[in-house]
Amino acid sequence: MSIDPTIKRLALVVGGGPAPGINGVISAVTIEACNRGIEVFGIEDGYKWLANGEALKAINEGIAKRGGEENFKWLVRHDDDLNPTHIVRLTKEDVKQVYYRGGSLLRTSRTNPSKNREHMDNVIELCKRMCFDAIVSIGGDDTAYTASQVYKAYKESGGYIRVAHVPKTIDNDLPLPGSTPTFGFETARHYGAAVARNLAEDARTTSRWYLVVSMGRAAGHLALGVGKAAAATLTIIPEEFGLDLETKKPKAIKIKQLTDILVGAMIKRHAHNRPYGVIVLAEGLIESIKDELKIILDNTGGKYGNYETDDFGHLRLGEIGVGNLLRDLLNERLVKPKSAKAARLHEMLGYAIEPVGISTTLVSKDLGYELRCADPIPFDIEYTRDLGYSAVKFLHTPQAMEFGAIIGFIDGGMKPMKFEDMLDPRTKRMQTRLVNIKGEGFQVAMEYMIRLEKSDFDDAKELRKLAEYIKKTPEQFRGEFGYLVGA
């Protein structure tokens, strides 16, 4: 098959959740493409309107009214009205001032056309109708998989299209070479740490505790980064409990173990006359306790949300009041008298909860949505310009005529990575980059946290101090909390 090496039209699409810097990629891709004489078209709301066929229908109607396929000058971007095609022509003038703004000029969605053959056919037909020679997609590993399937389906249909995917997530859990971050992470950590520091001062001033639940479905990078930068009292991430050898994911844990770690840290702080603190928890811990979580959600009448999944099969963590759930469970472990309903719930979970007798104010704070559309810090502004430029540059290389790629920017240079090398054909996802709990980065974090340690149980004076604070004997305290540290 003869392939035309020139690129005349390029489509830009954003999928998945927002991340600071999306507009930087959109800006850089558009400017570089326009500089190379390429027409750029932005797809609004991810693959939503392409998959359901509405964009194709509107384009066909527009062509019939306004001219043939060669005339798409009428796809002008407007902020004040709904574009029925959901496709807009982008110029340098449209994007020159958006690189420092949060959000997405093209908006985004989690629509997954690869799950439905008709939806994928709609996407391919639209791309052919618009005569797109190339696609730049921006998103996480789910959007990367969709991009790979568009590339594959296009070839299977007898056509050809170049595809470059720019990886983004504030979770920093995509397997880019070395310690290269995903764009958006540094900005999210920056603003997340500022929030946590403010809460730490409020906690000290008012003698209360804050439970901060940080986004990070599959890995604890953001939670750990926020906790370390804000000098949080304690940070807990899923990786610290070890990996399941079969699934390569963090091991499942019990709610009792999680709450006991939190209570142990609080006892230690209170016993040393510091009855306050900030605890940062990775939301991925909910995945680690999801068997018990389903029992709780099914038996609390929607108080904490419902057990729902998205188009990619992920548990919708945003639909669950993670912070409130953990706050209430922790309150029951501290001092709150158990109701008959609570007692029955714990009986279903398989263990009883005995309050330790600490009276304190506990406030939950979910941290994530306010970070995703923040204005990017200089690191991500520069980084996304590099990525956008590199995506267009890759599309003009001979390699782009041989394979679709995920674009990395490593040691100051572009690194295109083949879809088939990065995506697991079984899971349809990239391998998750987990926090290295054996590295110095995590060891430093542990050294600066306040939590029960084996040395607390080996030191008779310290053990007695902790035990007496909750009116226990040293032996009783060891029996209740010693399992956490192997004491």
Catalytic residues: 171
> Alpha helix (H) ranges present in 272-396?
285-288, 290-298, 322-334, 340-349, 369-372, 378-395
Angle at 457 between CA 455 and CA 461, to 5 degrees: 95
Residue of 258, 214, 235 whose CA lies nearest to 366:
214
Q: Could you tell me the two tokens for 251? A: 């091991």
Q: Quick one: CA dihedral 283, 288, 292, 298, positive or negative?
A: positive
311 — alpha (psi -120 to 50), left (phi > 0) or beta?
A: alpha
How many helical (H) and strand (E) elements, i.e. helices and strands, does the chain have?
Answer: 20, 13
Nearest to 138 by CA among 169, 172, 96, 94: 169
Contact 27, 89 (CB under 8 A): no
The structure tokens listed for 436 are 């290295």
Residue found under tokens 């449209």: 94
Tokens of 160: 């050809």
Q: Which parts of 105-172 are beta strand (E)?
A: 134-139, 162-167
How far apart are the two ends of the chain, measured CA to CA in Å? 69
| Tokens coding 12 | 């830009």
d(C-alpha 411, C-alpha 400), whole Å:
21
Contact by Cβ (8 Å): 277, 234: yes
> Quick one: tokens of 292?
């018990």
Encoded tokens for 365: 């704070």
Q: What phi and psi, each to the nearest 5 degrees, are found at residue 454? A: -60, -35
**CB atoms closer than 10 angstroms to residue 79:** 5
Residue 47 makes CB contacts below 8 A (sequence gap 6+) with 13, 15, 109, 111, 112, 113, 119, 123, 146
250: DSSP letter: B
The C-alpha atoms of residue 407 and residue 417 are separated, in whole angstroms, by 6
Q: Taking every pair of C-alpha atoms in the chain, what is the biggest distance, in angstroms?
A: 86
Distances (CA, A) of 168 to 144, 351, 429, 439, 444: 10, 41, 14, 24, 27
